[in-house]
Chains A and B, each alone.
Chain A
């Protein structure tokens, strides 16, 4: 039993250098290990506890990352108590080396690790590293970690300064330690010094919490905008078609699903047929694929179903719902239930905007995409001949027909275009959720509401309505929960329609009926 344990540990020891090879290449690493360090290494396994302590200290102060394999070797052969002492030392050395790593993430996580290690010896390392640091957020973490460590010292003035520093940094991680200080100050046998510290800590906590409230608010707004832009991309195609033909396409969600599956298939094709370095480009390539696939489906749908139901919007709703059922089940039978798209590297991760405010890249991308879509649609509607025709037919179909506009062809193209937009929405949604047959259903009722609230015929209505509904959704979610938030929004929409029955920006005219 013991033998096998040792074998495992040896294996681990063998693995470690492999893990750390990135670090070993760094310029700072040197082959020379001083004589004192050599002696300390030898003393690590000594029976004398004091000697061992001293050896550890020497290793921490003078050693570097090159010692790790050797420490590992010692650890593998030592007994339990010594192994337990050596492990933190190894971590310290590794993190110390990692503070110099060229990668931001590695430096940052090393700083975080050191901050939670509770080893005072790391304070000068962190401060030195912070002085040299160029990346704002890595420097922030280093300073935060240093302050956290200082807060754990025995010296009251250092503690005070550390509390002040944590407040200045608005460090959420500092709050538990500060709370401890406050508690210590509240106990009946607290000294004056402790009470003073507690006061400082309390004010620091207050400053940190105020900031947290702000950053929370900012994040909520961001989430609202992000949801709004998803809704916007989804509803804008729906709204254009509704404005033009008076038709709500219930299969819009499934056209999104088609776009999402198009993205998935593109990914799989790239994975199978193209060399690995090309893989990250699949996502960009999938955009036209998703657009064209969904537009093609839309074109077919228009030509085979919707065309024959002209002027019967309710029947069109039912028929398109039937199509959506068929599409959904087809996807379920063909693809199965769970298929995920791996976001390309440049879209994973996120940006730190402020302390406590972290903006995921995929959400930022969706926001940018919605802005792009709106601009593109404006350009098409107001700067192209198709757009001119679309606007004319939207305003007055009969008059446009009289003036020689082929209204049916305009319908077909617009419907295909709107469907293509659904495809793009599906393409973007693969970044946020799984690709599944029910993908379209998740948001579709919300986007219908956007269209109804926004009113017909004006893009601005759709934009404002999706901002309003998406924003309200996220605003109400924390206090009411997602479900009651939705209930609230439905009630608000119904009340809103009392005031503006045909939506936000209805085209003004003298028609008594719609």
Chain B
């Protein structure tokens, strides 16, 4: 799945071979490796690994959206965690309600409401009894929120550093609000202890496998959607906005509309990611939507390679894989590594992993003919 670096502005029009290979590996090979080989075989992919990979792929959906706004349009949003959180909480609320009387206190209400002595379900929880409404809400709520926020921000031409700071403040404020108990969203502990989804037990490996497959399909869909956006005329305008907004204005376009569109799309993808994340991980807390997580999301894209959709996917998966391995062995070291990554990627590898891969490929491509043509005289 890592060879997806064909999607450049100058690349061919069709989806490349790498897309199909990656799709095959993710969608068919990995679940099969989970199911078919016996548990002690070296080919076997454990339930835990598959589930963890599903989580990374959910993050990858968010990363694709973030890449669209940051990599292609040049708007740095440090509040992407908020949209992720909104989607995740919408799904989480539905999962909370499906627990029903299985909860610790045997009440129809979620456990934390029993602790907080809330007697009646708050009105904004009620639509989430319905699964379709929850799915719909997980996309719609972040979209609407991004629409209002983005409209105000882009209308007054807040951009660059200003926009980054405002969105960071948004992340801080959202974190504060979600942490409160009286908002009835579970406070610091968040939403957790889910039991079932549409009647399927979440603890069953089969359910998790199905969720994984759904995540892969959504990722593929998100990828194709963003690819289509970038290759459309609107996509050209987005890239132009990144490179020189002033000239775009002088050419008779209204960048604010394009920016709003891309900001809303990214928010919707973040909501989708959150929605897929919650049933797989089984918990959503404010700690996952604050300032630091929002910044980490940016680093996924930067590490993978901004301005390439494949890079976003690659970055999200590799950084999170690195995180889950390293925090296991060297918990104290992870912030150093993350901080170092921020600096190193920005200073030394502005094109990220994709850039490194591309360089290698170029070198191989250049060296081969040279070697063939001139022999060993030229080094």
Binding site for B on A (CB under 8 A): 242, 246-248, 305, 308-309, 313-319, 321-326, 328-330, 333, 445, 448-449, 451-452, 483-484, 486-487, 490, 493-495, 497-499, 501, 512-514
Contacts and interface: CB of A to CB of B under 8 A. Distances in A.
B165 A487 contact: no
B347 interface: yes
Interface centre among B155, B179, B299, B343 (most CB of A within 10 A): B343
B165 A498 contact: no
B156 A498 contact: yes
Nearest to B172: A445
B191 to A, nearest CB: 19
Given A497-B158, A498-B152, A318 B299 contact: yes
Contacts of B343: 305, 319, 322-323, 326
Interface string B148-172: 0100110111111110111011101
B350 interface: yes
Nearest to B157: A501
A514 to B, nearest CB: 7
Contact of A315 (B338, B339, B350): B350
B332 A333 contact: yes
A249 to B, nearest CB: 11
Interface of chain B, helix or strand or loop or mixed? helix
A485 to B, nearest CB: 10
A448 B168 CA distance: 9
B258 interface: no
Contact of A248 (B153, B165, B341, B347): B165
B76 interface: yes
Given A322-B341, A326-B335, A497-B158, 15 more contacts: A314-B161, A315-B346, A315-B350, A319-B343, A322-B340, A322-B342, A323-B343, A324-B339, A325-B342, A448-B165, A449-B165, A483-B180, A484-B177, A493-B166, A497-B156
Contacts of B350: 315
Contacts of A498: 152, 155-156
Contacts of A497: 153, 156, 158, 162, 166
Nearest to B344: A322
Contacts of A328: 335
Given A308-B347, A323-B339, A501-B156, A487 B177 contact: yes
Interface of chain A, helix or strand or loop or mixed? helix
Contacts of B287: none
B346 to A, nearest CB: 4
Nearest to B250: A512
A317 B164 contact: yes
B47 to A, nearest CB: 33
Q: How large is the interface on B (under 10, 10 to 19, 20 to 34, 35 or more residues)?
A: 35 or more
23 contacts: A247-B161, A248-B165, A308-B347, A309-B346, A313-B161, A314-B74, A315-B350, A317-B164, A318-B302, A322-B338, A322-B339, A323-B339, A325-B335, A326-B336, A333-B332, A445-B169, A448-B168, A486-B172, A486-B173, A487-B176, A497-B156, A498-B155, A514-B159
Contacts of A484: 177
Nearest to A317: B164
Contacts of A248: 161, 164-165
A352 B199 CA distance: 66
Nearest to A326: B339
A248 B165 CA distance: 9
Contact of B342 (A246, A318, A329): A318
Contacts of B149: 494
Interface string B315-347: 000000000000000001001101111110011
Contact of A317 (B161, B335, B336, B339): B161
Interface centre among A248, A321, A448 (most CB of B within 10 A): A321
Contacts of A323: 339, 342-343
Closest 10 CB pairs of A and B: A322-B342, A325-B339, A326-B339, A329-B335, A322-B343, A322-B339, A319-B346, A498-B156, A314-B76, A501-B156
Contacts of B179: 483
Nearest to A251: B339
A442 B356 CA distance: 37
Contacts of A321: 295, 339, 342
B206 to A, nearest CB: 40
